[in-house]
Structure 1
């Protein structure tokens, strides 16, 4: 574990401005050093052999198996490697991808594989056996514990009718069931233990890309339709990522860049910025089994002690919108929930009522500099109401492992790619405690459980009303403090063609993106 020593900000606005000025100064020094190096001839782009599209990442890909991918980078990469039965439109409604469907009775849905079928790396077409093996693995029928089990809702089992038809059997009606089947499909042989001498299963998907190399800091893909190499390189420090982009060592960056670097990049003719609204939900999570964090009065004090507007303005350059619920803006089931207002006096009163005199909490975050700066600013804001935070930053794998294991009092993370309202069950039902789901804060409410159970069996109109009730109750009980939805920002080298942003931050557009030195056309 790595502990970050930080200087406590003196005053909310002044503290954040000091943090921001320090970031600008560090970025300016680093970029000035780059300019000197360029004058000495050290900035000539390194030319690879053959066209390569190079993408810089802030965090590593932890697991390319779509049945186990629980972090954003892994889920986004999986979309490039594996085909899916169902896709979602911009309004979060399901549409056919690799399969069509029909409901045979309240508890049985039949999916029919479309033609032509996606093909795996050896040319074998995707089959019903592959679909069955993939979903049975997530259900745990092969002994696997998947963190995605709760996302399948009422699914009880999966059966192959023949090579092209699959029946999904539920244990209760679920009107939204097709929208849950967006999981990448792996080969049937991958459901069992690895076979000695065989190529690892994650090198054999049926998506638009094939995996060529996977290491701790580098992932190399080959685009199937033209052979273009796409390389993802993990570069945790945002200034170093920008330097690599300007040197020509990277072609594309997306998100995880501080405002001062974006301001600098906007003035550079060698790159261009793409901006768009995002649905990544950023929040603070509490461990409700902890004696301090489990006290609702303390959680309310934290919520009212944070000035979201100031954080968005000073640390995010205004590129975010205050959040009230995990469901993204414009979602058909989202409740209209305002962000908890900044009220330092109320925060102090809540602490006094709880008999808490300058309580101390440990706040865990990753080593990403943007997240550390946000944590430092929140530390300064909460110090003004009498809450002492110790900021503990950890390498991503250790940090995320602690969160999944419940080894925290307070942490910050984001949910990306949220599409269906049943995510509320995955996050807040008592049956979704890890490893069965993502109720990492150990939130337990009989009333919320009952509402979620009722929603699972209700028709679409009734479901919306029930899910909105769940959001209001969760908002009041505060297992999460909602922060904001961050906008998406991509920076690409001049000459990069075809890349487009998605609200969920997915990298799907890489299927049609070319680097400046590519010779192929579409």
Structure 2
């Protein structure tokens, strides 16, 4: 028996809030669930406003027509709003992963030496400092360090243009008039992604790679990504990368899109076997060792370049207190939030 549209129009759950209403592309309203089995929320009603433009979001906070924004502003906007006397900022390390993905079936990118060369050619430091304003930390795995299965003892790719050039020569791509080959990176129109791609373009040019950037509205961009119509692209994992089961979803050969998120068409029978074994193993220490080996292999073969984990940044009006952040940057803080009225 199908639920039809009922689950969308009248979703039900057992959490601290209950659904009230939704207007597409405008707002969602929830209210306190007075029958919740745990500690009741101190806030009766929460309204989520859909505000696509980041500048407008900042202005809504500044003038007091919005109370909270989490991971919804550019770093420069956060730094500006920190000077506002009516606002407060919470910041903590997060698990949202920014990554650069390759199409493994591409005639150039199928060679792991090329992918390693790209990793050596990219310098994350200026991007972290100037683009992210140090609101992010370098990543070396799809899993965050907070995960029980995280393995940091994997090959790292510190900025080394000479090593990149050496690998490119070994792969059979000498420089001809300063150019070895062209690659195309597809991006969305999001400002931070376009700026990041422009930095990559400059850095790769230093080792003889011409990076052409193609920018699309997000729906078109994501459609191309899920249909394998790309050479390189960059996206983020939000929340889904906290559990090691993501390795099956992203890197198992049975999970090529659209059956999963293996959009790079990465295939390694050894990795498939390790993933299958880890998912059926009951002993967590054994599972940890299996996932550690998976991470070592992926760091060598590089279907992804794991770029950075973004900090969680929450800006809120001072009338809202009792807020805390967790690594995933979700909305659990609403359970402890309360309104403090000025006297």
Equivalent residue number for residue 37 of structure 2: none
Q: Does 1:209 align with 2:18?
A: yes
Cα 1:366–1:517, aligned 2, differ >3 Å: closer, same or farther? farther
**CA distance in 2 between partners of 1:379 and 1:315 (Å):** 15
Q: CA deviation at 1:217?
A: 4.7
**CA distance in 2 between partners of 1:360 and 1:333 (Å):** 37
Q: Does 1:493 align with 2:317?
A: yes
Q: CA deviation at 1:514?
A: 4.6
Cα 1:229–1:263, aligned 2, differ >3 Å: closer, same or farther? closer
> 2:25, 2:50 within 8 Å by CA — same for their partners in 1?
no
Which of the residues 54, 77, 90 maps onto 1:261? Answer: 77
Cα 1:345–1:392, aligned 2, differ >3 Å: closer, same or farther? same
Q: CA deviation at 1:201?
A: 3.4
Q: CA deviation at 1:479?
A: 0.3
Which of the residues 428, 433, 436 maps onto 2:251? Answer: 428
Equivalent residue number for residue 39 of structure 2: none
> 2:95, 2:242 within 8 Å by CA — same for their partners in 1?
no
> 2:141, 2:151 within 8 Å by CA — same for their partners in 1?
yes
Cα 1:228–1:438, aligned 2, differ >3 Å: closer, same or farther? same
Q: Does 1:239 align with 2:55?
A: yes
The number of aligned residues is 325
* Secondary structure in 1 matching 2:296: helix
> 2:70, 2:313 within 8 Å by CA — same for their partners in 1?
yes
> 2:187, 2:216 within 8 Å by CA — same for their partners in 1?
yes
Instruction: Map 1:183-202 to 2 at 5 A.
Output: 192=2, 194=4, 199=6, 201-202=8-9
Equivalent residue number for residue 262 of structure 2: 439
**CA distance in 2 between partners of 1:492 and 1:448 (Å):** 44
Instruction: Map 1:54-69 to 2 at 5 A.
Output: none
Which of the residues 207, 224, 239 maps onto 1:402? Answer: 224
Deviations 1:444-488 (A, max 9, x none): 001111222222333322211111111100110000001111111
Cα 1:218–1:230, aligned 2, differ >3 Å: closer, same or farther? closer
**CA distance in 2 between partners of 1:517 and 1:277 (Å):** 30
> Structure 1 stretches of 5 or more lacking a match?
1-188
> Structure 2 stretches of 5 or more lacking a match?
35-42, 174-178
**CA distance in 2 between partners of 1:375 and 1:361 (Å):** 12
* Secondary structure in 2 matching 1:234: coil
**CA distance in 1 between partners of 2:339 and 2:184 (Å):** 43
Higher RCO (CA-CA < 8 Å; seq separation 6+): 2
TM-score (ref. length: structure 1)? 0.58
Equivalent residue number for residue 278 of structure 2: 455
Cα 1:259–1:441, aligned 2, differ >3 Å: closer, same or farther? same
Deviations 1:336-358 (A, max 9, x none): 23531101112122223333343
Larger Rg: 1
Q: CA deviation at 1:253?
A: 1.6
Equivalent residue number for residue 73 of structure 1: none
> 1:405, 1:434 within 8 Å by CA — same for their partners in 2?
yes
* Secondary structure in 2 matching 1:455: helix
**CA distance in 2 between partners of 1:502 and 1:310 (Å):** 27
Cα 1:330–1:220, aligned 2, differ >3 Å: closer, same or farther? closer
**CA distance in 2 between partners of 1:408 and 1:484 (Å):** 22
**CA distance in 2 between partners of 1:396 and 1:513 (Å):** 33
Q: CA deviation at 1:223?
A: 3.9
Cα 1:387–1:219, aligned 2, differ >3 Å: closer, same or farther? farther
* Secondary structure in 1 matching 2:321: coil
Q: CA deviation at 1:278?
A: 0.6
